[in-house]
Amino acid sequence: MKGAFYTGKYRNIFKEFGYSEKEIEKKIEDAYNTIFYGSDDERLYHQVGDDMSYFLDTGNNDVRTEGMSYAMMMCVQRNWRKEFDCLWKWAKKYMWMEEGENAGYFAWSVAPDGTKNSYGPAPDGEEYFAMALFFAWKRWGDGEGIFEYSKEARDILRECLHKGEDGKPGHPMWNPNNKLIKFVPGMEITDPSYHLPHFYELFALWADEEDREFWKEAAKASREYLKKACHPVTGLAPEYAHYDGTPYMKDNRQRYYSDSYRVAANIGLDYEWFGVDDWQCTCADNIQRFFCETVEGKIDMVYEIDGTIIDEKALHPVAIIATNAQASLAAKGKYRKECVDLFWNTPLRTGNRRYYDNCLYLFALLALSGNYRIWK
C-alpha cells in the first residue's frame, strides 16, 4: 500500500463501515464543540484574555505540553487558526524555558495561572509542538514573531537534537547513536508511545537541512524499535522500555497502561500516512484480536503485555476503545469493524478524568474519518 502522503487520499473507515458522511461530520463537530466550547464540566479549552488559552488536564488540574500540543494539532486539522495561535502564545509565555539546563525546551507541567510545576521537559510535547507548527505553516503560511510557525518548529527540533553539544549544559531528546526518542532527556530509556515515525518522515523534509538525514534514520529506527517493544502475540507495548525493547520494570511501567494505548493509534496513523511496513498490520490485528477474543469483555482493565489480566481498573478505559479503533487504519483482520463500532457507540468521557480519554477520542475520530491529514 502507498500511504496518503503519496496518494493524497485519506480513507474514511467510518464510511466504509456504513456510517453516513452527515452523521460522521456531526459526530466530529459535536466532539470539538464539547471539548473546546462545552460547559465547565465538559470543556478542556480555556480562554485567557483575548489572545491566549490553555488546555487543562482535568485529572491533575495542570496544563501539560502533551495537552497543549495535542490541542494545537486538533486546531490545525480543523482550520481553527485563532484557537491555535492563542494556545501557542500561552505555551511560549508560560511553558518555554529561557534559562537553566533545559533552556529552549518547554516545562512539561504548568499550573493554570502560568506557574511552572516543573522545569523538566517531556519529549512527546516537543515533537507534537513541532509537527503542529509545521502544519500551521503549510496550511496558513508564516506570520511574524512567534507566529513564524516554520521557524519555531525548526528551533524546537534543533534543540531536541543538539542540546548539550560543545560542552553546553543539558541533554538531547533523541539518543544521537540509536536515533531513538528518550522518555526524558536525562534518562536513557524510552516510551514506546512517543515513537512517531510518521512525524519524523516530515521532519526530514522541513527541519534544518543538516538534520534531515537524522530524521530519515529516526523514522526507520522507530519503526524497527516498535517491533521489539510490542509483544509478538498480543501486540501490547509497555509504558516505558529500554532501547532493546525490554520493559522498564520500575514503578509498574512494564504494564499495558495509560501511555501504552497510544502505540496502537500511532501504528494506525503511520500506516495510513506512509504505508511502508506490513508488520504494522500484523501488530494492529494482534491488538484487536486480544481485546475482542482474549479479555472477554474486560476491556477496562490493566494488563501485562503478555495479556495477563491484572485485577485493577484502567484509569482511561475510553482511551483503550478509541486507540483500538484507530488501529483499524492498519488492521486487516476480522475485528476491524467490531472495534470501530464499539468506539462509535462510546460517548466522550465525562468527569475529572476526561482529559486524556477525550484527547485520544478526538484524534481517533479525525483519523478514522480521513480528517487527520498531512498538510504540505
How far apart are alpha carbons 365 and 290 in whole angstroms?
22
CB 193 within 8 A of CB 200: no
Cα gap 219→179, rounded to integer Å: 9
Quick check: 308 and 295 in contact, CB under 8 A? no
- List all residues 6 or more positions away from 51 whose beta carbon is below 8 Å from its beta carbon: 85, 86, 89
338: which strand partners? none
Distance from C-alpha of 164 to C-alpha of 182, rounded to nearest angstrom:
15
All cell numbers assigned to 338: 467490531
Residues for the chain: how many in total? Answer: 376
CA pair distance 24, 4, nearest whole angstrom: 20
Q: Report how far residue 28's alpha carbon sits from residue 372's, in angstroms, rounded to the nearest whole number.
A: 12
Q: How far apart are CA 164 and CA 373, in angstroms?
A: 34
Among 340, 357, 338, which Cα is nearest to 300's? 357
Active site residues: 66, 259
Collapsed DSSP state (helix, strand, coil) of residue 278: coil
